[in-house]
Structure 1
Amino acid sequence: MPHDLAPISRRADAPDALPQLPAHLRWRPLRVDDATLLHGLVEAIELTDGARFRTTAAESAEKLTGEWKDLDHDTLVGVDDAGVVCAYATVELVQGAATLQKVIVHGGVHPMARDRGIGGPLVDWMTARARQVLVASGTTLPARIETHTDESGPAAERDLLERAGFRVRRYYANLRRDLADDVPDVQLPDGLRLVPWSDEIDDAMRLAHNDAFRDHWGSQPTTRENWRHGRSTFAPTWTFAVLDERDERPTVDGAQDAHASSGEGAPLVAAYLISGRYEQNWEAQGFTAGFTELLGVRRTHRGLGLSVALLEAAMRAYRADGMQFAELDVDTENPSGAHGLYASLGYEKLDGSMVHTIEV
């Protein structure tokens, strides 16, 4: 345990009992077969709030699956006397913590049920349950309770989070680039080869991701299970990697051992780009786009133009499939200088989001 940290049982300040929820609703845990019910609620919230990013039914189902999830204790749904689903909450301990233990919370109230005293108690419940989950984890690491909001979302949502002790810690910019403009043509150094995604290199891409994001705020190593989970929007034909096939390659930093290093004989992914296809957003946002979800370069391979080569390959793939824009989001304080790179390639800010946390 770090010598300057108190035990998590003291730091988390978890209550023995969870706060009371509004009695005019019937509360129960979400179940795996509640995916359609949950999606209907989330869809109503996003439609009313004018959200540009929309959740699919498959994504709602993914929120309720995963062997590590405890739906009985970490989820809620509230239903009124007429059988209308009015609110939900989820609390999830992030797996694979190495330097920081996170709990992610999400929730929402149906637009027709707002201003009925539900939102505040729901946030209080999620926060209290997250504290209990941290204590139960027994972590000796620094810990964080985290949630996200859209820049254009309701101010009342951010007010509720602030009253519960959350503070805005990070800003993300959603950027887009018109694919009608010329796409740069980048040549890779000898011994480095850009390849399309395949299942054979998928885990090597995960290892490259863990290495590339070691110096990014809040990032933790991704386990095999989490890496493969939640791929309903994954676009394999828009996803690429750069392999280092040189006889003498830079030594991968062993500090992250299995989280950073490929096994003997495995391909060394020097950089990667993962894309998503979010067709559900296109009508609401008024344009089609290929979305770059993740882009990373191993620290031993930076400065070789690999990010530009990958973005170029993705943009060409998006355009070949008829997309109007390339889109991505970026931490405005990204330490790798990614924001400046995107600007140099013609990406411009469209909107943004915020990360709210309670540091434990």
Structure 2
Amino acid sequence: MYENSSSLRWRPLAVEDAKAAADLLNAMETVDRIGDYYSEEDTLQELVDPYAELERGSLAAFDGDVMVGYMKANYQPDADEVHQVYLDGGVHPAYRRRGIGAALLKAGVTAAKELHDRYHPTLKLVVDAKRGEHIAGVAELFRAQGFAPARYLQHLEHPLGDAVPDPAIPDGLRIEAWSEQNDEEFRAVRNESFQDHWGTAPMPVDSWKSNVTNQAFQPEVSFLLRDVTTGTPVGMLVTKCWEADTVATGIRDANFFLMRTLREHRSRGEARALVAHALRAAADQDYGRASVRVDSAGAAGAVAVYEEAGFTSKLRLVRWARDV
């Protein structure tokens, strides 16, 4: 499989690997510096994702009891014309440049094909992975496996404090906090608004609970925007905060994980109102920073919305894609 394959043990991931996976990802972060730290609970949440079939769609490499690399493929439960399979994982910095990454990426493409043939065989398959643009060797690795840059994501940050202004809500709209009663409206806005977004499919309830309203979800900084006249939800913002990030950096970060407005409601400052309201709420609740990752080519012009609110870009990530 690679030049020193006899010294490693290879097998699919299992839920029992949560701590080993977190240790690996944190070791990667010490070198890659993309701002992502993990706890065992965080990686367990990813391993139990309902659309990650570990036996069929993952592979990990171990040196003794230490996980030194892994890949995991997530398929889309619903897709229209194009089925996008997302690959996650990486290689421990001390084990790079040995062919492990190439072996894992090749295995990821094979797993994506198997999942695709099982769930969406009549559609076009695109395999997708996200990596920091600055990470050494990444471009060479992906290009060698037939991938090309498809999109770019900007990681933006905003320091919080007394300087955050009070938000202005456009006439005819009101903002309400997340609750169990309006949770389904959050998901509905997400699904409808993402119909015009590259590589995104509808998110079913089980995926919403696993990937959005999970252990990192911050309901007190998550808001729904509603049209007062019709009662229709027209926008939403979901915030997350990872305890592992707080422990590692000493900064409590309010990550604006999802922010969307419906296409027909993007002309009255709806997105700006949501962002401003969430910034004020995060500052009032002693978060030290807000952050967000935004598709640079997003149709809704989200990068400009965040920059106008005082966010500045810190790094860029590449969405690598391969048609299969």
For normalisation by structure 2, the TM-score amounts to: 0.91
Alpha-carbon distance in 1 for matches of 2:116, 2:11 = 22
Listed as ranges, the gaps of 5+ residues in structure 2 are none
Alpha-carbon distance in 2 for matches of 1:341, 1:314 = 13
1:120 counterpart = 2:84: no
The question of whether the paired residues in 2 share the 8 Å contact of 1:315 and 1:326 is answered with yes
1:221 counterpart = 2:226: no
SS for the counterpart of 1:200 is coil
Deviation string 1:49-79 (CA, Å, 9 cap, x unpaired) is: 3332212222200121134432112112222
SS for the counterpart of 2:226 is strand
Alpha-carbon distance in 2 for matches of 1:330, 1:67 = 25
The equivalent of 1:174 in structure 2 is: 155
1:206 counterpart = 2:187: yes
- Kindly tell me: are residues 299 and 116 of structure 1, through their superposed partners in 2, closer, same or farther at Cα, counting changes over 3 Å? closer
The equivalent of 1:77 in structure 2 is: 60
The equivalent of 1:53 in structure 2 is: 36
The equivalent of 1:66 in structure 2 is: 49
The equivalent of 2:133 in structure 1 is: 151
Q: How many residues align?
A: 320
The question of whether the paired residues in 1 share the 8 Å contact of 2:83 and 2:120 is answered with no
| Letter aligned with residue 144 of structure 2 | R
Q: What's the offset of the Cα at 1:286?
A: 6.7
The question of whether the paired residues in 1 share the 8 Å contact of 2:50 and 2:207 is answered with no
The equivalent of 1:94 in structure 2 is: 76
- Kindly tell me: are residues 296 and 68 of structure 1, through their superposed partners in 2, closer, same or farther at Cα, counting changes over 3 Å? closer
| Letter aligned with residue 344 of structure 1 | E
SS for the counterpart of 2:155 is strand
Find the partner of 2:17 among 34, 38, 58.
34
Alpha-carbon distance in 1 for matches of 2:249, 2:301 = 28
Alpha-carbon distance in 2 for matches of 1:121, 1:308 = 44
1:350 counterpart = 2:281: no
Bigger drift between 120-129 and 167-176 goes to 120-129
Q: What's the offset of the Cα at 1:217?
A: 1.7
The equivalent of 1:196 in structure 2 is: 177
Q: What's the offset of the Cα at 1:100?
A: 2.3
For normalisation by structure 1, the TM-score amounts to: 0.82
Alpha-carbon distance in 1 for matches of 2:2, 2:290 = 45
Query: Computing the radius of gyration over CA atoms, which structure comes out larger, 1 or 2?
Result: 1
- The percent identity for this pair of structures is 26
SS for the counterpart of 1:213 is helix
| Letter aligned with residue 166 of structure 1 | F
Provide the alpha-carbon RMSD of the alignment.
Answer: 2.2
Q: What's the offset of the Cα at 1:298?
A: 1.2
The equivalent of 1:10 in structure 2 is: none
The equivalent of 2:265 in structure 1 is: 301
- Kindly tell me: are residues 347 and 85 of structure 1, through their superposed partners in 2, closer, same or farther at Cα, counting changes over 3 Å? closer
1:23 counterpart = 2:6: yes
